[in-house]
Structure 1
């Protein structure tokens, strides 16, 4: 299969590091509150408050990471964040006191929030053309597969080791970041930017703020990204409180989404590049599927089937449509942002784009749950309207961006290279 062959030096090291990083994250993400409770011994309310505050503070690290990428190169910043995250998790079992835990939680949150923008800049440094689209799909597939594998490993560790299993998971997660850093060292260095070039084009976020087409792209992605949070934030509560489904069945939808994204991400991404002429149209097509899925959930909430099997079938059907939209939208939108970013300011542009995801995940928990208390259909209607507007903006911004940015490049025939 051609999509498994390396297309650039260091590709295998890069994607293996991404998979290991995701697996390590899967060890604690699904159990974050309980995980830290067992590792540190602090109470759950205290841990929840600390994680919320540090997460909000860490949002400020995203634009700082963008400046660092433009100054030092994405590879150096990537290595720094891997080591920072690894060291933080290695020290968590020592955090028996609140101040120590707060510091470690803040460092971990900074690394977690800033890393996606740095990774996007790193991928853009290494690949061009359709390989960017391919890497976007591959990255998302590996992320879902790694998250699922990490969750399974953590479940086994906890089942076998009890409370000790959480501590082992913390050390294993720390090791995964250090191993990913070693693999990142095997990728080519970032392009060197001379002092003269930096002096001629120092760059600033004011220049990003003046790029209206790119800001439109960021806002459109923010609107669609609100819908990505529905699986973890909205659907579990909606299914149990509004549709009165058993709690044990709510995880089925998340499992379906994870498995499909992990197994079909790359093939669907390749199919999308043959069916859509531009990345913006593909992203808008994915947003349209979101609209259909969310309106379907609202309709299901109107009829509210009495039989659990019918309710579950309706929820799964909507999740399948949303998953298809995710597979179409995410790679196209990510590659579009990479292509639209000037190379000398790629770090700042990727940081600005990443903020659309960060803010969406920060705002939706309180927003969607508040609407749900009024009427179970309201949050789905809001998400559908946001996805519709996001898709329209994706189509409109196509006219303002260069043709080589929005159009899928024709894949040039090339021989596979030996991985570094």
Structure 2
């Protein structure tokens, strides 16, 4: 165990550990998004469609934020982009908690999503900047572990706090976001100049940056696959709490059930890098998609808390396999001088899903029924598994082409932060929550 712990945590840069600490603190207070659907439907009396609309606007704001955040990370710098995003998110968190009319709640969710998700590309780019390629698999796994340790604690605490005061959820979330900003301000320096000399600080963007991304079919294909996966995964935030409420289960029960996701990841995530080492990334990602589809599909048959908990444990296993391979693959497919923008485009897939998933989930559930919604999730998971197997070889060839000659070569078959949830990894890379 001592050797395993040293191999897992040893030798990583100090800046990484400051970012890791900020991630953990921020996620310990990530109350709002987990309980927003319950807050809107049970506390505020909005319909499932109206709640889906508000969550969708959060995703729309996130799409704008992650696009702007990726550009600013390359032009302005990682550090100022992170600080601005965190400070703006803390302010909007309080504003959303105090908003009363539906239109004010909708605007608050839109602006909060914009500020919160602007942090993702900068955070992901900074992680890649400071961690050598040979250490990225375990670094992203450690960061994803911190995200879910905080999430597991936050889900339980938020369920208890919601029984006292929903406003308390927004206040605590804002405070932990501010603490994260203070850590970045005091301990984390700018990292962009060390890795992207072609784009000096304050200088113009690399010529043809947008065209480069839009013509990168291999990368955009991978982003599209992540979009479909996110549409399924984000149902645990939007439609799962509503389904559990319809089964007569309380918000505290939902908090305990969804906390199993974080608990399982905390217990097992750090063992995943050794488990998947030496295995084809395409096969790992295909298996992850299939397992997640099965887990969400079984939700159609759930009524009791233990059955909901079982489904959470199943799709969490898929999430654990998906996360480190996804994050390291995004790092390898991103040219150094466009790292922030590439991270932004990948995060954009999560924001588009964040806008579409609750609205689509709410409409399917209202018009076709609860069982149809979860069956569709299972079908999407199966189709994604096939797509990963087909597209995997082209991704590995592209990663090999982009790897600098001096960069240590890691086995391409060895290597998803959670994030999304980067994030939830780059997909689950932590944003202010």
TM-score range, shorter chain: 0.7 to 0.9
| Distance of 2:339 and 2:387 partners within structure 1 | 26
**Are the structure 2 counterparts of residues 395 and 71 from structure 1 closer, same or farther at C-alpha, using a change threshold of 3 Å?**
same
**Are the structure 2 counterparts of residues 69 and 369 from structure 1 closer, same or farther at C-alpha, using a change threshold of 3 Å?**
same
Preserved contact between residue 37 and residue 47 of structure 1 (Cα < 8 Å)? yes
**Are the structure 2 counterparts of residues 328 and 342 from structure 1 closer, same or farther at C-alpha, using a change threshold of 3 Å?**
same
Preserved contact between residue 74 and residue 192 of structure 2 (Cα < 8 Å)? no
Q: Which residue of 1 aligns with 2:132?
A: 128
| Distance of 1:410 and 1:379 partners within structure 2 | 28
Preserved contact between residue 268 and residue 327 of structure 1 (Cα < 8 Å)? yes
What are the within-5 Å matches in structure 2 for residues 383-398 of structure 1? 383-398=381-396
Q: Which residue of 2 aligns with 1:190?
A: 191
Preserved contact between residue 69 and residue 118 of structure 2 (Cα < 8 Å)? yes
Q: Which residue of 2 aligns with 1:417?
A: none
Q: TM-score, normalised by structure 2?
A: 0.75
What are the within-5 Å matches in structure 2 for residues 212-223 of structure 1? 212-223=217-228
1:14 to 15, 19, 32: 19
User: Which deviates further from its counterpart, 71-80 or 322-331?
Assistant: 322-331
1:224 to 209, 214, 229: 229
1:108 to 107, 112, 115: 112
Deviation at 1:260, TM superposition (A): 0.8
Deviation at 1:71, TM superposition (A): 0.3
Preserved contact between residue 260 and residue 323 of structure 1 (Cα < 8 Å)? yes
What are the within-5 Å matches in structure 2 for residues 133-282 of structure 1? 133-159=137-163, 162-163=164-165, 166-185=166-185, 186-192=187-193, 198=203, 201-233=206-238, 247=249, 254-272=258-276, 274-276=277-279, 281-282=280-281
| Distance of 1:37 and 1:300 partners within structure 2 | 20
**Are the structure 2 counterparts of residues 392 and 101 from structure 1 closer, same or farther at C-alpha, using a change threshold of 3 Å?**
same
Structure with the greater alpha carbon radius of gyration? 1
Preserved contact between residue 141 and residue 262 of structure 1 (Cα < 8 Å)? yes
User: Which deviates further from its counterpart, 114-123 or 338-347?
Assistant: 114-123
1:365 to 358, 372, 378: 358
**Are the structure 2 counterparts of residues 228 and 394 from structure 1 closer, same or farther at C-alpha, using a change threshold of 3 Å?**
farther
Q: TM-score, normalised by structure 1?
A: 0.77
1:323 to 299, 307, 316: 316
CA RMSD of aligned residues (A): 3.9
What are the within-5 Å matches in structure 2 for residues 18-33 of structure 1? 18-25=23-30, 27-33=31-37
**Are the structure 2 counterparts of residues 380 and 234 from structure 1 closer, same or farther at C-alpha, using a change threshold of 3 Å?**
farther
1:231-253, Cα deviation, whole Å (9 max, x unpaired): 44566677898xxx774787776
Preserved contact between residue 66 and residue 349 of structure 1 (Cα < 8 Å)? yes
Preserved contact between residue 148 and residue 266 of structure 2 (Cα < 8 Å)? yes
5+ residue gaps, structure 1, are: 412-420
Preserved contact between residue 226 and residue 383 of structure 1 (Cα < 8 Å)? no
Deviation at 1:15, TM superposition (A): 0.6
**Are the structure 2 counterparts of residues 119 and 214 from structure 1 closer, same or farther at C-alpha, using a change threshold of 3 Å?**
same
Q: Aligned pair 1:345/2:349, yes or no? A: no
Deviation at 1:187, TM superposition (A): 1.9
Preserved contact between residue 295 and residue 380 of structure 1 (Cα < 8 Å)? yes
5+ residue gaps, structure 2, are: 404-408, 415-433
**Are the structure 2 counterparts of residues 266 and 199 from structure 1 closer, same or farther at C-alpha, using a change threshold of 3 Å?**
same
Preserved contact between residue 17 and residue 180 of structure 1 (Cα < 8 Å)? yes
| Distance of 2:153 and 2:242 partners within structure 1 | 25
| Distance of 2:175 and 2:242 partners within structure 1 | 35
| Distance of 1:410 and 1:397 partners within structure 2 | 11
> What is the aligned residue count?
390
Deviation at 1:37, TM superposition (A): 9.2
1:174-197, Cα deviation, whole Å (9 max, x unpaired): 221111011112023223266875
